């Protein structure tokens, strides 16, 4: 039950947060890194440290000359080994187990990674959270403050909605063409996500002795082989039965060598965890690479930005979008894009229509708003108490 309690705590990374509480400041691919991947890695870290799922992580047998707890502790904190040259031989006739046979003339493969698996998984989880932490600090709550009062609201009084919309428009027009640093910080963190997943793939490959790159494809090939001729690649990388050598002094002071066989029950979890991580990292690296290319297209091609705004713009006057996009730089576009994710369709469409009238229209809209009837040069807007069509305060 303690394991399920810890796993439920990790679920906070992937829980659905209401827009009233959190502003959306990224895209779905970005969230796959710091929410889903971080939650996966932390959950795997908890699972491999939960001894009650598999019992003792290592159990060694010997001739009885050494206490069981001593040999178990020694082999766990040092290392165990297998013989790669004895890997694909007949079990029960030629060898006692995969990779367990005569050592003479054969190279040994030492296994000590199992001591570090929980630490590596935890460190990887932190690595996938870092780009989000960097972006969150650079963003500094800008979208949350801009959309405060309208974020997540579907049905609100018209006066209140117009007042909030006018406030957002006032900020946007007054700060026009000043958001490029904001946008490039976001695109940098998006690139950092892609670099991070590639670095993690190579890091795990190094950690597992160069076996991770082809691990997933080897497992797929194994599943399609003939039952009598196939050899499980998961057992080769994560052996369940290994050897360990313990030396001690005998009664006469001579050094005695004790060979033991050790059952690594933990590897039954490790092999499943890393095959899942292999497929997830490949998928994540692919969609992250596509996301980076997509962002590059958005930066380089204004027509792409025009298409994105049109897709979120549900009202008329779509021809005015082209004129609006020509007035906006990439930072302004990103602010508008985030506004579309945090505001209702009605509020966003109304605001965009007013922006088209102020910045992008070549003709005067048929129904000008309060903002459109005021000059763009300061003072652009009436006093705050008049936003939304309220009466002036009597003096």
Other Cβ atoms less than 10 A from the Cβ of 258: the count is 14
Q: Is the pLDDT of residue 1 over 80?
A: no
Which of 259, 262, 275 shows the shortest CA–CA distance to 57? Answer: 262
Pairing type for strands 241-249 and 59-61 reads: unpaired
352 with 346: CB under 8 angstroms?
A: no
Q: Model confidence over 202-214: pLDDT tens digits? A: 999 999 888 899 8
Q: Model confidence over 65-120: pLDDT tens digits? A: 788 888 888 888 888 888 877 776 777 667 767 777 777 767 788 888 888 899 99
19 with 152: CB under 8 angstroms?
A: yes
Q: Which two tokens stand for residue 237?
A: 């990388």
Rounded Cα–Cα distance for residues 216 and 155 (Å)? 50
Rounded Cα–Cα distance for residues 14 and 178 (Å)? 33
Percentage, residues of the chain above pLDDT 90:
28
* Whole-number pLDDT of residue 386: 40
Range with lowest mean pLDDT among 147-161, 207-221, 319-333, 349-363:
349-363
333 with 325: CB under 8 angstroms?
A: yes
Q: Which two tokens stand for residue 63?
A: 């001739």
Alpha-carbon distances of 34 from 8, 37, 284, 381, rounded to whole Å: 17, 6, 12, 40
Is pTM beyond 0.85? Reply is no
Average pLDDT over residues 305-317: 71
Identify each DSSP E strand in 91-206 by its residue range.
Answer: 109-111
Identify each DSSP E strand in the chain by its residue range.
Answer: 59-61, 80-82, 109-111, 241-249, 255-263
* Whole-number pLDDT of residue 381: 37
């Amino acid at each position: 039950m303690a394991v399920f309690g810890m796993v439920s705590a990790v679920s906070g990374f992937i829980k659905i947060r209401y827009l009233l509480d959190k502003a959306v400041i990224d895209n779905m691919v970005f969230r796959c890194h710091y929410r889903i991947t971080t939650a996966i890695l932390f959950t795997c870290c908890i699972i491999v440290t939960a001894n009650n799922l598999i019992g003792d992580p290592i159990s060694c047998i010997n001739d009885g000359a050494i206490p069981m707890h001593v040999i178990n502790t020694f082999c766990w904190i040092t290392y165990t080994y297998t013989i790669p040259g004895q890997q694909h031989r007949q079990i029960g006739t030629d060898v006692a187990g995969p990779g367990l046979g005569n050592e003479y003339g054969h190279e040994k493969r030492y296994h000590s990674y199992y001591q570090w698996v929980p630490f590596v998984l935890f460190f990887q989880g932190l690595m996938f959270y870092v780009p989000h932490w960097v972006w969150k600090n650079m963003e500094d709550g800008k979208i949350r403050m801009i959309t405060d009062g309208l974020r997540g609201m579907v049905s609100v009084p018209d006066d209140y909605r117009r007042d909030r919309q006018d406030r957002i428009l006032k900020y946007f027009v007054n700060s026009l063409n000043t958001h490029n640093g904001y946008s490039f910080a976001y695109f940098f963190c998006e690139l950092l996500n892609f670099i991070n997943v590639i670095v993690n793939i190579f890091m795990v490959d190094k950690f597992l002795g160069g076996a991770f790159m082809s691990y997933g494809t080897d497992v797929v090939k194994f599943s399609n082989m003939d039952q009598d001729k196939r050899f499980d690649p998961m057992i080769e990388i994560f052996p369940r039965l290994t050897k360990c050598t313990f030396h001690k002094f005998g009664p006469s002071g001579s050094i005695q060598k004790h060979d033991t066989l050790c059952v690594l029950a933990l590897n039954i979890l490790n092999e499943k965890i890393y095959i899942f991580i292999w497929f997830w990292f490949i998928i994540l690296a692919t969609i992250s690479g596509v996301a980076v290319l997509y962002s590059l297209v958005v930066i380089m091609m204004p027509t792409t930005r025009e298409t994105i705004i049109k897709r979120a713009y549900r009202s008329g006057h779509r021809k005015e979008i082209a004129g609006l996009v020509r007035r906006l730089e990439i930072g302004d576009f990103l602010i508008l894009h985030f506004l579309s994710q945090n505001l209702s369709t009605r509020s966003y469409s109304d605001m965009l229509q007013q922006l088209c009238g102020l910045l992008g229209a070549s003709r005067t809209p048929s129904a000008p708003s309060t903002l459109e009837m005021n000059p763009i040069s300061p003072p652009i807007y009436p006093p705050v108490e008049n936003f939304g069509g309220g009466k002036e305060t009597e003096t």
